[in-house]
Amino acid sequence: MKPSPLPLCPVVNRTDIFINPDHRRVLIRPFAPATEQRILKIIARLLALSETEIEHLLAQVLAEFANRHQKTKEIFMERFEFMRPHLLTDRELSEARKLTIGSYFTHEYSLEAAALFNPSIVAHPNQSELPAGSTRFVLSLRATGEGHISSITFRTGVVDADNVIVMNTPSSFVTEPHPVRDAPYLKSRFARQLAELGFAGEFTRHTLAALKETFTLAELKAAIAFVQNQLINGELSGSATSSQAILNLAHSNYQVRFPADYQMSERVIFPRSPTQTNGIEDARFVQFQHDDDTRSYFATYTAYDGRATHPQLLETSDFLDFKFITLGGAAIKNKGMALFPRKIDGRYAMISRQDNENIFLMFSEDLHFWRSATLILKPTYPWEFVQIGNCGSPIETERGWLVLSHGVGSMRKYSIGAFLLDRDDPTKVIGRLESPLITPREDEREGYVPNVVYSCGMLRHNRELIIPYAVSDHATRFATVCLDRVLDAMV
């Protein structure tokens, strides 16, 4: 008797949509020379110019740059106020001179100069005024520019009733959000985070004791200064190191807000915390349903400081207000974590990879702390012998939790596969694809990193899977595939 043939991998329909990096999309950012002496020299040269020369110089700058950005004058004035402490006099300056000084400490940054890749997709919070059977979506992308620094940028589009994808034309403007200066910190969580980092000593205890149950960054700085001023008979052991660690943690847990009138494609989250100095990488967004049936969006991402990677979390309800949160616990390590879209048996669940090779599953009653992980999947087929990982958050189906995976095979070739977990007990793998769902075609092999296809999340639209994926760490395209055919192909 002949053995039954293995199910064939379902046919994937690649669309004609390519989202390529656009070096014309430039972000206006702070610029400052490395030394105080150079800053003083620049300001001195500008102060030496006559008012006529200043007005002429400002007119030139605005003629060249004002149409490339929104609220250019406001940004120049903000930069002047930031640099004001370097002025050697309190003499009041003209508005034109302030703006001109501000322009010299500002520069353009080409957000997508190198790549626009590793996409994640979720349903848009606004689904109004759509034809029947259509879904509006938000696409997040990893934009990599000068210095190979990665940030998060967004696009929007619609999938219609026939599974046709239409992308909205992005704005030519890109803008960073403003920090929320009075964002609250919860002392109990902050104390646990410090303990996880190994800074639960005497200086930390004194500092926390000087704070209320919720506090702001300004209050934290005041508490640190108060404890430092109260030191008697020399410093407390490790106070300088502890104070810096406390501030670094606070700066890594922050909140930003975009103006409501900015289009989604104009919003850019650029690194701003100590853990993110070299990039915010591979955000995996998921629309999360809370116990009270309200919904918000979470994204696990990798912060990179130039030396080490740090798995972290961001949260938003509207893609205007974003909270960045440090994850803690012994199981928080490595890269590529993906949160389930709801709790399972009263606990949060997350796909992870602790060892650069296998796929694990974690549970926690606290979203911000993860203690242990269970190994659920090992490389099994030749196309994934080097390592496997997830390609975004699981999608719930009537047959189980469907997870996109990535596998690395010979010649470091990346392919996208899938596996299925039990709905009630996702530590049980109940199916997986023997062959890749998406593997690099000839026209997808060349780029910043050749022979790679990769995704950070898919969208279920009726009975179709909408899969945005990166092409050789350079650009992004879309594919669609029938959900039922993927499930039927599981072995």
Examine residue 257 and state whether it is found in any structural domain, yes or no: no
Mean pLDDT across the stretch 305-326?
95
**Which H/E stretch holds residue 344?**
none
Examine residue 194 and state whether it is found in any structural domain, yes or no: yes
Examine residue 69 and state whether it is found in any structural domain, yes or no: yes
- Residue 8 reports pLDDT greater than 70: no
Taking Cα atoms as reference points, which of 154, 159, 158 lies closest to residue 171? 154
Examine residue 105 and state whether it is found in any structural domain, yes or no: yes
Taking Cα atoms as reference points, which of 463, 423, 456, 420 lies closest to residue 342? 423
pLDDT band for 77, please (50, 70, 90 cuts): very high
Examine residue 61 and state whether it is found in any structural domain, yes or no: yes
Mean pLDDT across the stretch 357-370?
97
Question: Quick one: tokens of 95?
Answer: 């508005």
Supply the pLDDT for residue 233: 55
Whether 401 and 421 have beta carbons less than 8 Å apart is answered as: yes
Residues 350 and 221 in one domain: no
- For residue range 269-299, what is the model confidence (pLDDT) as tens digits? 999 999 999 999 999 999 999 999 999 999 9
Question: Quick one: tokens of 144?
Answer: 């990599």
Residues 221 and 248 in one domain: yes
Helices (H), 148-286: 187-196, 202-209, 217-229, 239-252
- Residue 5 reports pLDDT greater than 80: no
Residues 234 and 286 in one domain: no
Examine residue 329 and state whether it is found in any structural domain, yes or no: yes
Contacts of 75 (CB under 8 A, 6+ apart): 28, 69, 102, 106
Across the chain, how many H-helices and E-strands are there?
9, 29
Q: How many domains does the chain have?
A: 3
Residues 324 and 402 in one domain: yes
Q: How far is residue 92 from each of residues 58, 98, 465, measured CA to CA in Å?
A: 18, 10, 61
Does the CA dihedral 278-279-281-286 come out positive or negative? positive
Residues 275 and 393 in one domain: yes
For residue 279, give the CATH number of its domain.
2.115.10.20
Supply the pLDDT for residue 231: 72
HEC secondary structure over 363-391: EECCCCECCCCEEEECCCCHHHCCEEEEC
pLDDT averaged over every residue in the chain: 95
Q: What is residue 397's three-state secondary structure?
A: strand
Residue where one domain finishes, among candidates 194, 220, 252: 252
pLDDT band for 230, please (50, 70, 90 cuts): confident
Measured CA to CA, the distance from residue 110 to residue 158 in angstroms comes to 27
Supply the pLDDT for residue 89: 87
Residues 236 and 292 in one domain: no
Residues 422 and 294 in one domain: yes
Q: For 236-332, list the strands marked E by DSSP.
A: 255-257, 268-269, 279-289, 295-304, 309-316, 321-326
Residues 385 and 355 in one domain: yes
- For residue range 213-229, what is the model confidence (pLDDT) as tens digits? 999 999 999 999 999 88
Residues 200 and 324 in one domain: no
Residues 224 and 302 in one domain: no
Supply the pLDDT for residue 11: 86
Residues 299 and 376 in one domain: yes
Residue where one domain finishes, among candidates 218, 252, 286: 252
Residues 359 and 445 in one domain: yes
Supply the pLDDT for residue 238: 62
Measured CA to CA, the distance from residue 58 to residue 51 in angstroms comes to 10
pTM for this model (two decimals): 0.94
Taking Cα atoms as reference points, which of 478, 488, 358, 466 lies closest to residue 420? 488
Q: Which domain holds residue 82?
A: 26-110
- Residue 17 reports pLDDT greater than 90: yes
pLDDT band for 334, please (50, 70, 90 cuts): confident
Measured CA to CA, the distance from residue 438 to residue 467 in angstroms comes to 10
Examine residue 104 and state whether it is found in any structural domain, yes or no: yes
- Residue 320 reports pLDDT greater than 90: yes
Examine residue 162 and state whether it is found in any structural domain, yes or no: no
pLDDT band for 3, please (50, 70, 90 cuts): very low
- Using a pLDDT cut of 70, give the percent of the chain over it: 97
- Residue 9 reports pLDDT greater than 90: no
Q: Residue 27's Cα: distance from chain center in Å? A: 17
- For residue range 445-485, what is the model confidence (pLDDT) as tens digits? 999 999 999 999 999 999 999 999 999 999 999 999 999 99
Least confident of 1-10, 47-56, 57-66, 106-115: 1-10
Mean pLDDT across the stretch 95-119?
97
- For residue range 423-447, what is the model confidence (pLDDT) as tens digits? 999 999 999 999 999 999 999 999 9
- For residue range 379-396, what is the model confidence (pLDDT) as tens digits? 999 999 999 999 999 999
